[in-house]
Structure formats: C-alpha cells, structure tokens
C-alpha cells in the first residue's frame, strides 16, 4: 500500500513523497524502514517506486521523497542541488520517520543511487541511527568524476563560468542555469554530457516523471565538482554497507567506485552488474539487484 506523505525540514521546506507499507498487516504496524531519494536532478517517479514496491513486498516499510527544489517538493531556487543540504535532508527524513506509527525507530536503513548513492555513504558514516546502507551506482568523487566527463581543455572554461556566476550572484543577479543533459545535440553545454543520460531523461520515463525539468543551477554543478562522499566510506563500519556497481558505467565510472569500495571496512558486500549506469534501474539488472538489496536489508533490519 502506498500513501502520499510530506514533512518539513528544520529550515521550513516541505518535502513530499510516498510511504510504502507492506500488505501483510495493519498500515500503522511498526516496521523496519528504508529511506530513499533519487540522484542528480532526478525525481521519485524515475523507477524509485519499483524498488520501493519490491522492498515493501518483502516486508519492509519504505519512505521515498523528492529532494528539495525538485519534483513535488518545495524549495527555492528550483533546480538547486546542494549535496550537503540533501545529506541533511536525509537525516531529517529519518528524524521525521521515527515519529510515525509505521516506523520502528531502531531499524532504519538508507538507500541511494547515483548522486544520492554518494549521500548515503556520508549519512551512513555520520549518523549512527542508520542500521544498514545500500549505495547503488554511486558518485564517490566529484572532482575525479568530473575530470572523466569533461575534456581537459574545457575544464578551465567551466571554472571560469563558475567564477562569473559567483560574481553575478554577489552583484544581486539570479543564479545562472544549465541543462542537466543535452536534448538534441551532443555539443550542447550541459551538466551530464553522456548519451545514455540524454536517452534516459528524454526517453519513455518522461511520461512517468512529468515534474522533471532539464535545468539546474550552475552552482549545483560547481558543488558537484567539490563533493567527495567517498572520503567517508571507511567510516561507515560497523554499519553494514552494500555497494552496487554497473560495470559499464561511464557516468559515475565503475573503476572509481571499485577503488573506493576497497577502502570500506566489513561488513560489506559488492554486487557488480554487467550493464550501464541507467540500466541498473530496469530489466534484468533490476531483477537481479533488487532481490539482493532486499536480502541485505532484511539481514540487518529484521
């Protein structure tokens, strides 16, 4: 069973999403809970409901919400993606969930994918209320990943754009905006310049995710470059960590994730899928990955 929910952050922003409850009992029964949000600019309708439904069918409650400034959640400016604010919002979601009659406050896990896959590495390391972590195709190093996505001769130009935007904002102008991904021409300036990113956001998923917008603030990209969530990975233990890697991932590149996974301490588990970044959400990869993730959560939350 799924119900719409909303909760307020400490700074007064309303975040909206869903609570998925298992069908094998009253909706207000206290259950283990998985808290989840999506990646860079993405909204909850982009396959998070499939993961939530699978986890709920396995006996877990799931709290899914849109990140602030995106989708159904409030927040200004629209399209602003501050990774550290999103980390704080994960922790607020946990705090709010602990007050609800359907949540066992002592059995909370967190799930993240792509950008939020990095967030859960941070939250899992600093918030000991978290009992279990699943990080799917995560960003582990903003700078190293940006250097893979952006040609070296274009990186200086990007930094000049950051500086110009900072000066303009200081002068009172609104933040500059940038496309998330290219729509028609691979030469278009955008934050995530891979072909599979464009195919994902402009493919059939648009019918499910009408609230998604192909723009973010330029400073969101600057904050992406500065964000190093993998630095926290060794500090997650003794909280159990599962990392899901897409072997053909060239958005949050697989070799970087595997390198950082080696720094994590046990208990940990690695699942490698023979697919690209966005294929991890659907098809055979989902059919293999979602049950493994459910088993991981059930092992440590039930």
Please give the average per-residue pLDDT across 274-289, as a whole number: 98
Report how far residue 107's alpha carbon sits from residue 242's, in angstroms, rounded to the nearest whole number.
17
Please give the average per-residue pLDDT across 147-171, as a whole number: 95
12 dihedral zone (left: phi>0; alpha: psi -120 to 50; beta): left
Please give the average per-residue pLDDT across 129-141, as a whole number: 98
Report how far residue 214's alpha carbon sits from residue 177's, in angstroms, rounded to the nearest whole number.
10
**Average pLDDT along the chain:** 97
79 dihedral zone (left: phi>0; alpha: psi -120 to 50; beta): left
Judged against a pLDDT cut of 90, whether residue 24 lies above it is answered with no
Please give the average per-residue pLDDT across 135-143, as a whole number: 98
User: What pLDDT does residue 26 have?
Assistant: 76
pTM check: above 0.95: yes
* Phi, psi of 142, deg, nearest 5: -60, -45
Q: What burial letters (b/e) apply to 135-171, b meaning 16+ CB within 10 Å?
A: bbbbbbbbebbbeebbeeeeeeebeebbeebeeeeee
Place of tokens 């909706």: 27
Domains and CATH numbers, the chain: 2-146+227-301 (3.40.50.1820)
Judged against a pLDDT cut of 90, whether residue 28 lies above it is answered with no
270 neighbors 245 (Cβ within 8 angstroms) = yes
Please give the average per-residue pLDDT across 215-241, as a whole number: 98
Structure tokens at 201: 């956001």
User: What pLDDT does residue 224 have?
Assistant: 98
User: What pLDDT does residue 294 have?
Assistant: 98
């Amino acid at each position: 069973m799924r119900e719409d929910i909303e909760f307020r952050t400490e700074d007064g922003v309303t975040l909206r999403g869903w609570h998925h409850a298992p069908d094998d009992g009253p909706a207000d029964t206290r259950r283990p809970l998985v808290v989840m949000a999506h990646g860079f600019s993405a909204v909850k309708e982009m396959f998070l409901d499939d993961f939530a439904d699978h986890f709920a069918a396995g006996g877990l409650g799931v709290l899914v919400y849109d990140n602030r400034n995106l989708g159904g959640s409030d927040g200004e400016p629209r399209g602003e993606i501050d990774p550290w604010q999103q980390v704080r919002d994960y922790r607020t979601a946990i705090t709010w969930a602990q007050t609800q009659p359907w949540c066992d406050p002592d059995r909370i896990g967190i799930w993240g994918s792509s950008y939020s896959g990095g967030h859960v590495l941070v939250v899992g390391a600093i918030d000991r209320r978290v009992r279990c972590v699943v990080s799917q195709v995560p960003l582990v190093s903003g700078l190293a990943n940006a250097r893979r996505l952006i040609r070296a001769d274009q990186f200086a130009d990007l930094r000049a754009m950051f500086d110009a935007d900072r000066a303009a904002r200081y002068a009172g102008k609104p933040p500059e905006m940038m496309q998330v991904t290219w729509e028609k021409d691979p030469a278009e300036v955008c934050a995530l310049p891979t072909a599979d990113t464009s195919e994902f956001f402009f493919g059939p998923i648009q019918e499910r995710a009408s609230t998604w917008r192909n723009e973010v603030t330029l400073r969101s990209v600057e904050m992406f470059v500065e964000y190093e969530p993998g630095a926290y990975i060794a500090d997650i233990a003794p909280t159990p960590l599962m990392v899901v890697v897409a072997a053909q991932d060239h958005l949050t590149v697989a070799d970087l994730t595997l390198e950082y996974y080696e720094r994590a301490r046990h208990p940990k588990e690695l699942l490698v899928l023979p697919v690209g970044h966005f294929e991890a959400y659907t098809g055979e990869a989902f059919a293999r990955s979602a049950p493994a993730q459910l088993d991981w959560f059930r092992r440590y939350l039930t």
